[in-house]
Structure 1
Amino acid sequence: MTDRNPASSAIAPATIVPWPPLLLAGVVMIAWALTVMAPLPWPGTDDAPAHWLGLSFGILGLLLIVFALKTLVAHRTTILPNKTPTALVTTGPYVRFRNPIYLGEVLLLLYGAEITKSIWFAVAAAVFAVLVTALQIIPEERHLEAIFGDAYTNYKSRSRRWI
């Protein structure tokens, strides 16, 4: 289902800063720098099940991001987090999750933790989730409610912010 709001293009975006890509790049750079300069011992075991779990996080994260982006493009609304959406998309991965792209990015960070055996990438995943929630998701939710009203409120009641 897609609810369109043609007047939404006249409404200012929820944020003017594209927080998610900036935060993702920032936490990856910091995690990598800490991995090199201040490595911490990997708390997990180096076994095949852990490796396959980490790999599955990476594959699932990537698939979730691609599926979410394709869904947004199919509904002809913006994929940019600092632009005003023209449609409320509630199909594809958005049926279950309100933020599948950000969830996919967290999964990719957890995959990064497994392939680098660096606890800093697991920390980065948690930091990213907290920061993207505070700086992007919460303002975006208020913004979508203002644009789409009851349609967004109803969608919010049957979908989850994260998992």
Structure 2
Amino acid sequence: MNPLQIKQAITTALAGFASQPEAAAATALFETLGYRSAKRLPLDSNTPEHFLNTFAQGRQFNQEHAMLTDWNSVDFLFQLTDDEVRAAGGAQQSLPFDSRGGYNGAVIESYLFFAIALKNRTTPAPTWQTSPALSTACFPCQCCCCFGTATP
């Protein structure tokens, strides 16, 4: 795709947030940006309470830093590993990517992607607090969060 086609694809993906469920729209946006993975974990419920019971049980999860009371829903979208990043280069090119190893004292071997719908439009997206709160408290890897607002 040329740069104009890429911009149009991103615009289309962003417009999807107005008509699609948060998880579907966020997945489409990440895929448009080149993040694709079949490693999915469908959960029985996407409530913040279910998230805590599933992932934060027995861990020190700072609900204040994550601004959990502002969450309407949270969806686990997919896990991205080195294999998917290298595969993004296709047969034409090989991406020299290997996240295994240390970074600032942490070992990172994969990335988790979430969609979080906030309760109202006046809540600021807590990107600088929520992603590290998820990464350090619940998961031994980096987390990427896409924030939106619940449909009225």
How high is the TM-score relative to the length of structure 1? 0.26
Higher relative contact order (CA 8 A, sep 6+): 1
Which protein is bigger by CA-based radius of gyration? Answer: 1
